[in-house]
Structure 1
Amino acid sequence: MAHHKLILDDELDDEFSLIAIHCSEEAYKMAYLLNKNVQLHLHRRRRDLDFSKEGLAITFPLFDFEDQKQYTTYHLVANKCKTVAAHTVATGGLFGEQAQEEIMTKYLLAEFKKVDYFLKITSEYETTPLKKLLMQLNEIDQVISAFIVDVSEVKSRENLIFD
């Protein structure tokens, strides 16, 4: 009897660039600043990026823009999500149980906990002008810093699939 092996290749075929952005503004304000200063036309998707971990519903705001002239797609996604976890604690008293709420912060890419937003750039061309874009991002007053992330170092690349 012949043995058959199935090899699952989890390597993502899509090549993309990733820019990390430190900014304390809300997601809609960050998208507005990119639209104004970098001449993007980011729009919020009707549905956010949803995950379910440890019984918690986690949503990350997601904005995108497809530049058809340059064959480039931009995705702006928040890295942090604050969610409320409810716990019941037995007190042993008259009312038996007491509900407690705890605010938890979850991350899209947990290895980059200090990053507030990611700008994912997918292009049909081999190279995109990242240095010019990075310079424009760092000139925005509200942006603390922006830098290019080496995509090969990202452990949870599957979280960056937005389709």
Structure 2
Amino acid sequence: MATHKLLLDYEEKEKYSLLAIHCSEEAYKVAYLLNKHLGLQLKREVLDLDYSRENIDISYPLFKFDDSFEYTTFYLVANKCKSIVAVEAVTTSLFSEDTSEKTVTNYLLPEFKKVDFFLKIHSEYDVYPLQDIIGEINKIKQIISAYHLEAESIKSKNNLIFD
């Protein structure tokens, strides 16, 4: 009996630009600064990005602004999430259980561990003034640096699907 194998080589490419932001502030403060200096209206989503790895619940704060006049959507998401994990110690005693807590850091995009936040810009236009946005972000004194990431350098692209 003949076996038929179907291969699906089509991969829909989402048009977006990704900016890396280095900043030691909290996510809500970064959203506020971007709103103030870029004229955005980033608001916290009702549901954060939730993942579960190795029995650890991971939640990344997600902010969104949908600019209907420019046909552009902005997403601000944190790259780091710190979780507390209970670790049970092996004991020889019959009645004592030693448990300790350990903090584990998880990354949305593990290949960019030094990046604190990502600004994903999804636009209907082929050309979007990224250099202007990067220049304005770098003028903010609380932000250390911001720069554009090429799509080819991102290995964990599936983690950037927010819808």
Shorter-chain TM range is: over 0.9
Aligned match of 2:2: 2
Secondary structure at the aligned position of 2:36 is classed as: helix
What is the aligned-residue identity percentage?
54
- Provide closer, same or farther for how the CA distance between residues 12 and 106 of structure 1 changes in structure 2, counting only shifts above 3 A: farther
Aligned match of 2:19: 19
- Provide closer, same or farther for how the CA distance between residues 103 and 24 of structure 1 changes in structure 2, counting only shifts above 3 A: same
What is the TM-score of this pair, normalised by structure 1? 0.96
Higher deviation after alignment, 91-100 or 77-86: 91-100
Structure 1 runs not aligned, ≥5 long: none
Secondary structure at the aligned position of 2:112 is classed as: coil
Aligned match of 1:125: 125
Query: What one-letter code is carried by the residue in structure 2 that aligns with 1:16?
Result: Y
Aligned match of 2:106: 106
How far, CA to CA, are the matches of 1:134 and 1:28 in structure 2? 19
* Deviation, structure 1 residue 13: 2.0
Secondary structure at the aligned position of 2:7 is classed as: coil
How far, CA to CA, are the matches of 1:145 and 1:90 in structure 2? 45
How far, CA to CA, are the matches of 2:40 and 2:11 in structure 1? 30
Structure 2 runs not aligned, ≥5 long: none
The two structures, once aligned, show a CA RMSD in angstroms of 1.3
CA contact (8 A) 1:90 1:96 kept: no
How far, CA to CA, are the matches of 1:89 and 1:56 in structure 2? 18
Aligned match of 1:70: 70
How far, CA to CA, are the matches of 1:60 and 1:54 in structure 2? 16
What is the TM-score of this pair, normalised by structure 2? 0.96
Secondary structure at the aligned position of 1:3 is classed as: coil
Q: What are the within-5 Å matches in structure 2 for residues 82-101 of structure 1? A: 82-101=82-101
Aligned match of 1:28: 28
